[in-house]
Structure 1
Amino acid sequence: MSENNQDQLDRIKAEIADSFDEELELQMEEDRLDQLVVEGVEGSTTQVLDRKIYFRELFRLQHELVKLQDWVQHQKLKVIVIFEGRDSAGKGGVIKRVTQRLNPRVCRVVALPAPSERERHQWYFQRYVQHLPTAGEIVLFDRSWYNRAGVERVMGFCSPEELEDFFRSVPEFERMLVRSGIILIKYWFSITDEEQEFRFNMRIHDPLKQWKLSPMDLESRIHWEDYTKAKEEMLARTHTDETPWWVVEAVDKRKARLNCIAHLLRQIPYSDVPKPVIELPERERSADYSRVPVPPEMYVPEMY
């Protein structure tokens, strides 16, 4: 092998390794949190999946997600995936791994803030409708219209009449989505009381994670049983043949990510999409072109 070819191969390997860095950095962050446990934060009930198995399976599943993305585009499918669960249940971590290798123009995340004064007086589903997917698009809802059956109910942000109207309306609303051609998949991430307490304590002790703790999160600890009752009724009354709920055991974050992604891939039959051979065109060069030098003071200082 010539020296030039070896240099090219080394650059390719470095580029591939760099593409994995984001996931490695995320995992290093979790390893750093594990160290905090050693330093005095106790109580986790997590059984950690072997790292080599986790990374091998994650990268394999993410490769399949890219193929699914291509299929959704090719077939002009419309897909909604709802992620619900208690605070700190790991929804955000799964969503990050789903979107990590995908085209944000095809797969986008919707995480709506609290409704505005105007939105509070609209039809309840109205602010969600504008975020529904068009043909060839996947939309991941990081919490959804099910806020009404959870936090709004427990914290008293809706009346009993509004809650009952929601339970009557949501099955038909979701059937309308399905009849319109939308593929709707709903996940509930389940963790134990002890595990949520542990994860909240981790955030309290970690200055890089404290921003994740909101007053509403702390309030949710007080109302653990109320949230449990709300979840049980929500699953019972909104689990239908057309739009079933799928419960993800999420105490072990790594297992939860792999199980959820693997299950998601099985919900939408897909295959390889034929792609044209791509050839990089030669760059045009003009004899009268000369590059204008950038003034030194415009460069970012190279501190690393």
Structure 2
Amino acid sequence: MMQTAERTAPTRSDTGILDSKALRSALACFATGVCVVTTQSPEKVDVGVTVNSFTSVSLSPPLILWSLAKSSSALEAFRQGEHFVVHVLAADQEHLSTRFASRGIDRFAGVPIQRNLEGVPVLDHSAARFECRVAHQYEGGDHLIFVGEVLRFQADAAQPLVFHGGGYTEVAAMPSPLPPGNREGCLVTTDLSYLIWRAFMQFRRRHYERRVGLGWSESDAYILQILAMDEGQTVSELAEAISFTGERCNPECIRNLVQRGLVEAECPVGPATCLKLTDISRCSVRELSALARTAEGELLGKMTATEGRRLKHVLGLMIESMCCNVEGASA
């Protein structure tokens, strides 16, 4: 069940003034896009600011608006300017949001730009941009509100950067409900354990077929692939490294791999013996790794970049959570 944040009622001081901190927190519940607005001052100086107050106003005529704090050092340039460009930032442009919100720097230094017909700087690769003529300016408390008539616009397929709750986030489609699960023996096809198991088996199918073709057991593959990540490990270090798999790695297992020409080790093999792959096993591990990378590329190619990042993030959280559970149980 989705958790909901604790709700707080707006508070007022004895003078009847709203609590600005509580108000800011309440306003942060509204998710917005993140924009960089650019213009050129009358002195031909490029000016840009990060805002999240952008919104559409009208389609006929095409009007948009945004607001800028009166305390901003860029206020006069926008107040006196006749044109501006609103760039809706893409999900991978957080660095531009941070840069154009920073003080005391040349915000355009090292940032590739072009110029539109009015000479206003245009940033590359935004999710959307709107080139505007200033139609109106309005007082809005401690902000100045700019209404722009859209002269030209461009939109790309990129996912937008989103700001919510005081931090950056991404757009994610609401997942469709899973269909009712069908029982397969003792498992239900919507159970997490079934989904993880089946996804893993399908993801590793070619890897599995090649491993079997090499004559390696599952235990062999775990030992050799984890040894390949850090050759020179001792038997005891390798045993600790593969413990999460449930497989064993002891001197007897290593002696078997040595006899098959898959591991190099000094005899007699003991817990402190250092291990290395042979040329044959190293080549086979690389082949299996290439198959895994191909499977990953094919899978991620069917997802958006955001979905791919979220998948890896969720799997990382699962690993971390399960590691904590195991450590807690063994403490």
TM range, smaller chain? under 0.3
Normalised TM-score (structure 1):
0.23
Structure with greater contact order relative to length (CA < 8 Å, sep ≥ 6): 1
Normalised TM-score (structure 2):
0.22
Higher share in helix = 1
